[in-house]
């Protein structure tokens, strides 16, 4: 839920979800701190990160990033945290087709519990691995883009390791949330 704070124009709740080992924590830390851990421990439940962003000109927004566990055994816990989310990054690994297939489940859960105006972005992560020919790509850019269009969500490919499109992914979600807020207030 978007709320106003004394020091901020808006407060945004952003959920980062997807299967285990797709790079959710790496993406979040790369965006927040500009660096990644060499081998982070799997997230248990949820980790919170707070920061301030400017989604538009001089409008400040306090953002709480909710890095959700990807392991199946934590699904019941993380599902409850989707409520009142303004935005979500649903992350998959471009070298793991199964992680892509499971994205539909996460989108359905977000739409079932989140704000009806939730901004969802599909994020194909680990692009660096296929760019360097280290691992064979299992999900093409076109497949990700088609899936996003069919589900009426945003789409981008990223690399948390190199930083490719990481800021763009998060900032695009923030800007889309802001635009929805402005349009909703104008149309009331």
Say if 99 falls within a structural domain: yes
Q: Is the pLDDT of residue 5 over 60?
A: no
| Model pLDDT, residue 40 | 62
Domain that holds residue 129: 10-186
Instruction: Indicate which CATH number applies to the domain containing 141.
Output: 3.40.50.300
Say if 2 falls within a structural domain: no
Mean pLDDT comparison of 2-16, 110-124, 129-143, highest-scoring range: 129-143
What rounded mean pLDDT belongs to the chain?
Answer: 84
The pTM of this model reads: 0.86
pLDDT (tens digit per residue) in 119-129: 999 999 999 99
36 or 103: which carries more pLDDT confidence? 103
Say if 5 falls within a structural domain: no
| Model pLDDT, residue 127 | 96
Among 146, 10, 12, 37, which Cα is nearest to 89's?
12
| Model pLDDT, residue 55 | 74
Say if 49 falls within a structural domain: yes
Burial class (CB in 10 A: 0-12, 13-18, 19+), 25: buried
The position carrying tokens 């934590």 is 74
Provide the number of structural domains found in the chain. Answer: 1
pLDDT (tens digit per residue) in 161-183: 999 999 999 999 999 999 888 76
Among 118, 117, 114, 120, which Cα is nearest to 83's?
114
| Model pLDDT, residue 101 | 98
Q: Quote the Cα angle for 100-140-89, to 5°.
A: 45
Say if 117 falls within a structural domain: yes
Q: Is the pLDDT of residue 73 over 50?
A: no
The position carrying tokens 């980062």 is 16
Average pLDDT over residues 133-146: 95
Say if 56 falls within a structural domain: yes
87 or 44: which carries more pLDDT confidence? 87
Say if 3 falls within a structural domain: no
Counting other chains too, the contacts that 27-32 makes at CB distance below 8 Å and 24 or more residues apart are: 27/89, 27/91, 27/123, 27/125, 27/158, 27/160, 27/166, 27/169, 28/65, 28/67, 29/160, 30/160, 30/163, 30/166, 31/65, 31/166, 31/167, 31/169, 31/170, 32/65
pLDDT (tens digit per residue) in 90-104: 999 999 999 999 999
Say if 109 falls within a structural domain: yes
């Amino acid at each position: 839920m978007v709320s106003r704070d004394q020091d901020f124009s808006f407060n945004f709740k952003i959920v980062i979800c997807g299967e285990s080992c797709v790079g959710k924590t790496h993406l979040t830390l790369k965006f927040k701190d500009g660096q990644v851990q060499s081998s982070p421990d799997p997230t248990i439940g949820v980790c919170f990160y707070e920061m301030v962003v400017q989604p538009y000109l001089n409008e400040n927004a306090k953002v709480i990033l909710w890095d959700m566990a990807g392991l199946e055994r934590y699904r019941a816990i993380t599902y409850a945290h989707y409520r009142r989310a303004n935005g979500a990054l649903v992350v998959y690994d471009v070298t793991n087709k199964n992680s892509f297939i499971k994205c539909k489940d996460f989108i359905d859960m977000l739409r079932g519990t989140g704000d009806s105006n939730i901004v969802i972005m599909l994020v194909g992560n680990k692009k660096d691995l296929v760019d360097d020919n280290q691992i064979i790509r299992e999900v093409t850019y076109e497949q990700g883009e088609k899936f996003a269009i069919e589900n009426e969500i945003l789409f981008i490919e990223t690399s948390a390791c190199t930083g490719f499109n990481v800021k763009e992914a998060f900032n695009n979600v923030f800007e889309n949330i802001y635009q929805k807020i402005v349009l909703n207030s104008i149309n009331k």
